[in-house]
Chain A
Amino acid sequence: MKKIQILGTGCAKCNDLAENARKAAANLGIEVEFEKITNLNDIVKFGVMTTPGLVIDGKVVSQGKLLKPEQIMAFLQK
C-alpha cells in the first residue's frame, strides 16, 4: 500500500491537489493511505518551501504545483 501525504497550510490549491490525488488513486484502483500535513514546521521538515507539496512513500515528488490526476498517476505507477 502506498502512502500519499499532501503538504499545505489549507489553501484552495492544497485541497484541489488532495482531490486530484484521490482521483488518481481511484483511477488506478490501488489502495492508498492519505495524510494531510498542515503544520508549517512539519512541512519544512520535508524540505518543502512552496506549497502544495506531494509526498509519496516519504519522498517529495512535487512542490508548488497543482498536479493533474494524470500526472499524479504517473508518479504512483513508478
Chain B
Amino acid sequence: MNWKEEWKSLALILVVFGACYYLPVEWLRDSRRVDNALWEALHLVNWYAREHVLLCLVPAFFIAGAVGVFVSQAAVMRYLGPRANKFLAYGVASVSGSVLAVCSCTILPLFAGIYRMGAGLGPASAFLYSGPAINILAIVLTTAVLGPELGTARAVGAVVFSIVIGLAMHFIFRREELAKVEAAAAMPEPEVARPLWQNALYFASMVGILVFANWGRPSGGYPLFQVIYANKWAITILFALALALILVNWFGVTAWKMLLAAAPVVLLAMVFPEQPTLAFVAGVIGLVVLTQRGSKDENGELQEWFDTSWDFAKKILPLLLYGVLISGALLGRPGHEGLIPSQWIAGIVGGNSFAANFFSSLVGAFMYFATLTEVPILQGLIGAGMGKGPALALLLAGPALSLPNMLVIRSVMGTKKTVVFVGLVVIMATITGMLYGALFA
C-alpha cells in the first residue's frame, strides 16, 4: 500500500463518513429546510426562464456569435504586438475582452500570446484580468439580473483595475528580461469583407434590440425613462427593421426571403399586440432560418454566425441551468431561505467591513465559476444578506481567477509572477469592494 498516493482517498472517506455520522437528520426534517431548498431551486429556475432567456439571453447569444465571426482578432492584436505603443497597449488590453473573449478557453491562449510574443507582461496581465469580467454576455446578464448599478460597476471596475494591475505587474518585474519567443505572432491578415462602419451599425442594431426589449419599468422619477418604457416595443421594432435592412443590403440576404421571414413577425405583432414576446420569438426563428439555411453568400458568413451563436448557446445554457438550480437550493430567493441559513451569509459577508470584502475576494479568486454562473450565485448571496461591496469584490475577483486557471497561468509566467498577480487581484478587489460599498450604501 502506497500511503503517499492513498491518503487522499482516506481523507475523502473520513470526511464523508464524518458528515454522515453527524448529519442532523431530525433537525433538517423538522426545519423543513430540504423541502424549501427544492422549491426555491424550482422557483428560481422558473423565474430565470420567464424573465431572462427569451428577451435577454437569446439576443445576447446572437451578439456573442457575431463577435466571434465578424470581429477580427488579428485587427485587435495589432495593438498588442511587440512594437505596439505601450500606452495604447494598456488601453486596448483592458477593453478588448469585451469583443474578443467569451470563455476562458479563448482568454488563456491570447494571454500567453500577448505575454510571450507581444506587448509583454503588463498588457497581458491587464487583458487576463479584464477579459472574463467585461465580455458581452457577462455584462448583459449582470445588468439584467443584478441591476444596472452593479453591472456598470463591474464593467468600469474591471477596466480601471486591469490597467492598474497591468502597470503594477510591469513595475514589479521591470528588471526581468523575458526570453521572447522568436516566432513573431503570425496572425492571419484580417479579411475585410465590409467597411468598419457597416459592421459597427450591424452591432449597434443588435445591441439596440437587446437593450430596449429588456427595458425595465423605471422605479424613479426620470420622465425620459418612463417615455422609453412606454414605447419600448416601438423602439425595438425600429432596431429590428434596421437589422433587417443591414442584412439585406450588406450581408447578401435576398430581399424576398427577408420579407417572408418578417411576415409572421408583423402578423403576430398585429394580432397579439399585448404579447410582444410572440412576435419576438417569431423574429428569432426567422433569423435562425435565414442565417442557417439562408442564401449562398460568398463565404458562408451568415452560416458561420449562426453556428458560433449555437455553439455558445449549447455550451452556456446547461451550465447556467445547473448554476441557477444549485444557487436556488443553497441560497433561496430574497426573503426565502435555502439550505444555508441567511444569518451565516450575513454574518460572513454582510455589511461592508474589511473582513467581509477580503473574504469574498479571496474565496472568489480560488473558486471556479463556470461561465455566467457567478450571476445566479451572487443573486442568491445578495438575497441572503451579502453586502454590496463584498458582492462587487466577488464579481471582480471571481471570474478572472480560479484554482485551475491559476495553474495554467503559472505554467506560462512562473510561480512568482502568478502569486503576485493573484495577490494584486485580491487586494484590488477588496479595496474596490469597500469603496463601492461605502459610496452606494
Using CB atoms and an 8 Å cutoff, list the residues of chain A in contact with chain B. 9-13, 39-41, 43-51, 60, 62-64
Contacts and interface: CB of A to CB of B under 8 A. Distances in A.
B186 A47 contact: yes
A44 B315 contact: no
A7 to B, nearest CB: 8
B188 interface: yes
Interface of B: 73, 77, 103, 105-106, 108-110, 112-114, 116-118, 181, 183-188, 311, 315, 408, 411-412
Given A44-B181, A46-B183, A51 B116 contact: no
Given A11-B105, A63-B188, A41 B110 contact: no
Nearest to B408: A40
Nearest to A63: B188
Given A44-B112, A63-B188, 12 more contacts: A11-B103, A40-B408, A44-B109, A47-B185, A48-B109, A48-B113, A49-B77, A49-B114, A49-B185, A50-B73, A50-B110, A63-B187
Contact of B183 (A13, A45, A51): A45
Contacts of A40: 108-109, 112, 408, 411-412
Given A48-B186, A49-B187, A43 B73 contact: no
A41 B106 CA distance: 15
A64 B77 CA distance: 13
Given A44-B112, A49-B110, A51-B105, A64 B183 contact: no
A9 B254 CA distance: 40
Question: 3 closest A-B pairs (Cβ-Cβ)?
Answer: A49-B113, A11-B105, A47-B183
A52 to B, nearest CB: 9
A49 B77 CA distance: 9
Contact of B109 (A9, A45, A62): A9
B106 A50 contact: yes
A8 to B, nearest CB: 8
Contacts of B183: 44-47
Contacts of B184: 47
A50 B77 CA distance: 10
Contacts, number: 67
Given A41-B116, A41-B412, A63-B188, A50 B109 contact: yes
A45 B188 CA distance: 16
Contacts of A60: 186
A44 B116 contact: yes
A47 B117 contact: yes
B112 A43 contact: yes
A9 B187 contact: no
Given A47-B183, A64-B73, A41 B105 contact: no
B108 A9 contact: yes
Contacts of B112: 40-41, 43-44, 49
A62 to B, nearest CB: 8
A49 B109 contact: yes
A34 B184 CA distance: 25
Contacts of B113: 44, 48-49
Contacts of A10: 105
Contacts of A48: 109, 113, 186
30 contacts: A9-B105, A10-B105, A11-B103, A11-B105, A40-B108, A40-B112, A40-B408, A41-B412, A43-B112, A44-B112, A44-B181, A45-B183, A46-B183, A46-B186, A47-B117, A47-B181, A47-B184, A47-B185, A48-B113, A48-B186, A49-B109, A49-B110, A49-B117, A49-B118, A49-B187, A50-B106, A50-B109, A51-B106, A51-B109, A63-B187
Nearest to B112: A40
A60 B113 CA distance: 15
A25 B186 CA distance: 25
A43 B183 CA distance: 11
A59 B412 CA distance: 23
Contacts of A46: 183, 186
Nearest to B188: A63
B113 to A, nearest CB: 3
Nearest to A46: B183
Contacts of A44: 109, 112-113, 116-117, 181, 183
Interface core residue of B112, B114, B117 (most chain A CB under 10 Å) = B112
Contacts of A45: 181, 183
Nearest to A50: B73
Contacts of B114: 49
A5 B184 CA distance: 19
B319 to A, nearest CB: 13
Nearest to A60: B186
B315 A12 contact: yes
B81 to A, nearest CB: 10
